[in-house]
């Protein structure tokens, strides 16, 4: 049986302490550096500029990123690339920066795409790489965007998160320097780390899972459970930071070779409606989704294999305990404390979750009642309307 093609990363994955120095080996004239103020504050933005300069590459920065970038935001970034005539695009940041920069790159390379609809309609026919090489430098350990074929942006008209996917969108070069993450705050270490775990576990039970994705996802999940608490407890532990950065990249490889599922399908809907971080939402949803998916025989067996490798039987309990160790709220109510907003948005979130492509790809297809129950449990801790 013929399956969809798999692309495991771009041309190069450069990893290890000091690997950011690889920027000196790039060839080009003008680089656009997409990043955030937090990277400016920790000194790595200036270091990136300096390394590019030592390679004889002029560079200019773009720091105008916000949570849940819209199509209008990525159009602005594409205009910046066009004005600069960039032949190198460097995205240094977390998943938000890397995802948005990918779509900016898409618009820069495909100037005929001027509307959100045109991008969606032509997703399978993109031309990339003619103008610029794309380089990702992740500054968190969670998204895996540095090796993935997708970028998620928000449709500002109806506040839905929409993934743009194409094999050509895999960045040409991923630079994994764990030293960049040494100053990452505990809360971001925890939330992005659980996002990486979600990538592995959803890839593992995806209907598109295969021997390649399973091998990556299984080992990656075990590594996250082992190393994330160490990175959280001591952010200056370089070994745990390096392990978590590799776990994150492995997660991106795993879901690119398979797919994500229900937790991300719901997280897209929630994140577009309420102001909660993506990793936090997944941390709350993941144990619930594991229990929901366990009605599926193959998923149940795979979850059991992971749990037993960790010396236990119940994977959802392991994930819940991990979240508690990382001081992550176990309900949305504790995280946002706005019952009225949740109830107002409940119907929209349920409908958007059901329509999300990753929900449709999930190993167990939920109906509307299932979705309401899952959302209630995610918010209140138990299904408020169960009885």
For the chain (387 residues), the mean pLDDT of every run of 10, in chain order, is 78 97 98 96 96 98 90 96 98 96 96 92 90 98 96 86 91 98 97 98 98 98 98 98 98 97 97 91 98 98 98 98 97 96 97 96 98 98 61
> Which CATH entry fits the domain spanning 186-380: 3.40.920.10, 3.40.50.720, 1.20.1090.10, 1.10.760.10?
1.20.1090.10
12-180 and 186-380 agree in CATH topology = no
Q: Which residues contact 300 (CB under 8 A, 6 or more apart)?
A: 293, 294
- Going by DSSP bridges, is the β-strand pair 150-155/160-165 parallel, antiparallel, or unpaired? antiparallel
Instruction: Collapse the DSSP code of 59 into the 3-class scheme (helix H, G, I; strand E, B; otherwise coil) and give the result.
Output: strand
Closest CA to 208 of 353, 356, 363: 363
For residue 12, list its beta bridge partners: 173
| Whole-angstrom distance, CA of residue 195 vs CA of residue 282 | 6
| Whole-angstrom distance, CA of residue 72 vs CA of residue 364 | 35
| Whole-angstrom distance, CA of residue 132 vs CA of residue 130 | 6
In contact, 267 and 284? CB cutoff 8 Å? no
The CATH class given to the 12-180 domain equals alpha beta
pLDDT, position 148: 96
pLDDT, position 275: 83
User: How is the chain split into domains, by residue range?
Assistant: 12-180, 186-380
User: Which secondary structure element, helix H or strand E, spans residue 123, and what is its range?
Assistant: none
In terms of Cβ atoms closer than 10 Å to its own Cβ (0-12, 13-18, 19+), residue 369 is exposed
- Going by DSSP bridges, is the β-strand pair 88-93/58-62 parallel, antiparallel, or unpaired? unpaired
pLDDT, position 45: 97
Q: Which residue has the tokens 């190993």?
A: 363
In contact, 253 and 233? CB cutoff 8 Å? no
The two three-digit tokens of residue 51, written as one number: 């390394």
- Predicted structure pTM score: 0.95
Q: What is the dihedral of CA 82, 85, 88, 90, to 10 degrees?
A: -40
**Dihedral of alpha carbons 300, 305, 306, 309, sign:** positive
| Whole-angstrom distance, CA of residue 21 vs CA of residue 154 | 34
In contact, 326 and 232? CB cutoff 8 Å? yes
Greatest Cα pair distance, the chain, in angstroms, is 68
pLDDT, position 160: 84
């Amino acid at each position: 049986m013929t399956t969809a093609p798999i692309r495991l990363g771009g041309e190069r994955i450069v990893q290890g302490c000091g690997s950011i120095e690889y920027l000196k080996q790039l060839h080009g004239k003008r680089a656009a550096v997409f990043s955030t103020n937090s990277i400016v504050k920790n000194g790595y933005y200036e270091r990136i500029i300096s390394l590019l300069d030592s390679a004889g590459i002029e560079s200019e920065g773009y720091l105008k990123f916000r949570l849940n970038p819209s199509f209008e935001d990525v159009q602005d970034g594409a205009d910046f690339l066009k004005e600069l005539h960039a032949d190198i695009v460097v995205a240094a940041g977390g998943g938000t920066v890397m995802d948005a920069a990918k779509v900016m790159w898409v618009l820069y390379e495909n100037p005929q795409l001027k509307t959100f609809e045109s991008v969606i309609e032509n997703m399978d026919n993109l031309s990339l790489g003619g103008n610029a090489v794309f380089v990702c430098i992740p500054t968190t350990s969670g998204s895996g965007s540095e090796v993935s074929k997708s970028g998620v942006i928000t449709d500002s008209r109806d506040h839905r998160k929409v993934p743009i996917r194409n094999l050509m969108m895999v960045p040409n070069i991923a630079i994994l320097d764990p030293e960049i993450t040494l100053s990452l705050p505990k809360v971001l270490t925890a939330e992005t780390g659980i996002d990486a775990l979600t990538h592995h576990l959803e890839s593992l039970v995806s209907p598109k899972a295969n021997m390649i994705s399973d091998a990556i996802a299984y080992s990656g999940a075990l590594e996250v459970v082992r190393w994330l608490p160490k990175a959280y407890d001591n952010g200056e532990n370089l070994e745990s930071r390096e392990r978590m950065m590799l776990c994150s990249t492995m997660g991106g490889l795993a879901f690119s070779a398979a797919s994500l599922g229900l937790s991300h399908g719901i997280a897209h809907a929630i994140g577009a409606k309420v102001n909660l971080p993506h990793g936090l939402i997944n941390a709350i949803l993941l144990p619930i989704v594991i229990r929901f998916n366990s009605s599926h025989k193959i998923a149940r067996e795979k979850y059991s294999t992971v749990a037993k490798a960790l010396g236990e039987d119940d994977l959802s309990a392991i994930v819940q305990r991990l979240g508690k160790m990382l001081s992550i709220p176990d309900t949305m109510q504790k995280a946002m404390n706005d019952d009225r907003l949740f109830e107002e948005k409940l119907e929209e979130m349920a409908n958007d979750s059901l329509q999300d492509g990753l929900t449709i790809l999930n190993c167990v297809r939920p109906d509307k009642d299932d979705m309401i129950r899952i959302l209630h449990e995610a918010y209140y801790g138990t299904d408020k309307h169960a009885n």
